[in-house]
Amino acid sequence: MITPRIEARRAMAMTLAFDVIAAAVAMAMALYLSWSLSSGWPPNPLETTAMASSVFAFSGLLSFWIVGVHRQVWRHISWGDVVRVIQAAGLAALFFLPVLFLWNRLVGFPRSSLALALPVWLLILFAGRMVAIARTTQTPFQIFQTVRKDAPMVVLAADSASAAELLKHLQRDPDGAGVRILGMVDVDASNPGRAIRGVPVYGGIDDLGNVLDILEVRYGSMPWVAATGPARDASVMTRLLKEVAARGSKVMALDPEGPNGAGLKQVRPRDLLARPERDLDSAPVEKLLSGANVLITGAGGSIGSELVRQCARFGPSRIGLFDSSEYNLYQVDLFVRRRRPDLPVTTILGNVRSPKRLSDAMSAVAPHVVIHAAALKHVPLMEENVCEAILTNVGGTLNAARAARNAGARNFVLISTDKAVDPDNIMGATKRIAELAVQRIAQDCNMDIAMVRFGNVLGSSGSVVPLFEDQINRGGPVTVTDPEVTRYFMTVEEATSLVLQAAALNGHAEGRNLFVLDMGEPVRIRELAEAMVRMKGLVPGRDIAIEYTGLRPGEKLHEALTYEDEAVNKTVVDGVMSVNVDCATPPQFDLNVERLLEAAGRHDRVEALRLLSMILEEYTAYGQQFRRRKRA
């Protein structure tokens, strides 16, 4: 079976043979012209022609091999390749005269023939290359396109439409193309054997491995793969990563309209989402926030700080930053003051567990919109710190909602989690109680209250992505709890956009005040870990080990965004869903919540767990199951 490497070497041999034969022909033509224009011919013209042509062909062979001209693929050479051909031809001329002098002391050889042979040779070389380009692209002068000296070599992964638009943009760049595209694989596999704006289409994604092997031989190094258009979809990206990592290369994202022209950027974990990243409508959010006073609790956290950045874009009259972390609060305060020096900022260091501190914050900001992002969210850690989770996630939410109501706020938004659905852990149980408690407050006030549930946020503090990145950078192993575990993922930008959309949509939700994002299919954590290893150009299981540690206390194999009896409905914003929630709670709900907070305040873990199970029947079922496992 003929391998791609053998095919590549055969192609290089054929192109080198053409160039060497062209050298011999050029020298023969130059000698004929020199003798025809001079006073006479030598005694043995055929012998002299054969000798000089052979030496010139050998010199060309040697120089082209040294310079690497034989590695060029004619159909997509650029101006840099043209320069290398000229350099190699000049080097051949330097080799030619000394070799011929040693052979026969230049007897019968007219000195002008070398000056004639070089341009004739170059003319034949470029004519052959331009014909090859014209056969596939109909643009023979593509050979003179400029490419930046530092432009990396890449294989483009795209569909025909995206590739054509990208190549048009690259070719119009006055500073030269920022990447050197050696060829393309079509995600639709619809144009094999053809070329798009001078770039040959080698086949589909399944052919990528062979393409990389061939180009490595031709160019002496393994090119990167640049993904654009539909190739950025998670399913295609995963296939690209598998092929590329096995060959020690990398997949990069090609941005056709970057700030400094088209260029490559690192593939991010968000590119591995099993659905397109959603770009939500900002018009209703701008209407809500423009000219409003906004207070954000947990403003220094992953979600909170992004909320601050997005809110600042919509022209609020004042923004209040509330957080218990001095450093995080300093960072987000500094960001806002630098980016929006005209925006009044009120920065409050405090804990949501303190009703008085929250009341003071509300008085200082006089908010129209309050977004409650403060929470304790690390699942295994909260299993060990039950009372702290209750005081912050339940008590802090009640304090924030009551303070917002008393301050006359128009809108209050609670950030919840998918773990609040049939909770199997303390974090989810406390968030579910917070949802129910906020719904109770909504029944007795004129403040619009919205709740938002979303899944794991890529890159947020405590999420698996930073953990995996750290483990990979340390050389592994990467730890996954279970090979079958799945999670819903969204980006920080999506999560914060959803929160703001919920606040804006709440008045038009026909009484529904719980919102979720259509998150597509959940992501298998094992596949995410393997893909992140491949993003570094490594092979999982060979370069970086994947270890399975077992589910930790409170963790599920699969999460859900809604209860089975909660009806999900579309809203006017594509991808944002509203949920019909049952606001009915037991008569003793408020009293039991107060008892729960008192038990947590005394750090009575046993009583707090008993009250949690009393308030949430679905958590009681889990608690009994977990205790049975512990006894076994």
The per-residue DSSP string of 209-260 comes to HHHHHHHHHHHSSPPEEEE-GGGGSHHHHHHHHHHHHTTT--EEEEETT-BT
Q: Which among 419, 431, 570, 630 is annotated as catalytic?
A: 419
Q: Is 419 a catalytic residue?
A: yes
**Residue 186 and residue 194: Cα distance in Å, rounded?**
11
Burial class (CB in 10 A: 0-12, 13-18, 19+), 46: exposed
Name the β-bridge partners of 47.
none
Q: How far apart are CA 107 and CA 117, in angstroms?
A: 18
Q: Are strands 180-186 and 153-158 parallel, antiparallel or unpaired?
A: parallel
Burial class (CB in 10 A: 0-12, 13-18, 19+), 335: middle
- Alpha-carbon distance values, 587 to 9, 458, 582, 591, 592 (Å): 82, 39, 15, 9, 9
What separation, in Å, do the N-terminal and C-terminal C-alpha atoms of the chain show? 59
Of 246, 373, 400, which is closest to residue 311 (Cα–Cα)? Answer: 373
Contact 96, 90 (CB under 8 A): no
Tokens at residue 43, please?
């005694």
User: How many CA atoms lie less than 13 Å away from 259 in the CB half-sphere?
Assistant: 1
Its sign, for the CA torsion 284, 289, 294, 299, is positive
Length of the chain: 632
Residue 480 tokens, joined: 């996954």
With beta carbons less than 8 A apart as the criterion, state whether 182 and 212 touch.
no
Alpha helices in 407-524 (DSSP H): 426-443, 464-473, 492-505
Pairing of β 576-580 and β 567-570: antiparallel
489 strand-pairing partners:
456
- Residue 372 and residue 402: Cα distance in Å, rounded? 12
Residues taking part in catalysis: 419
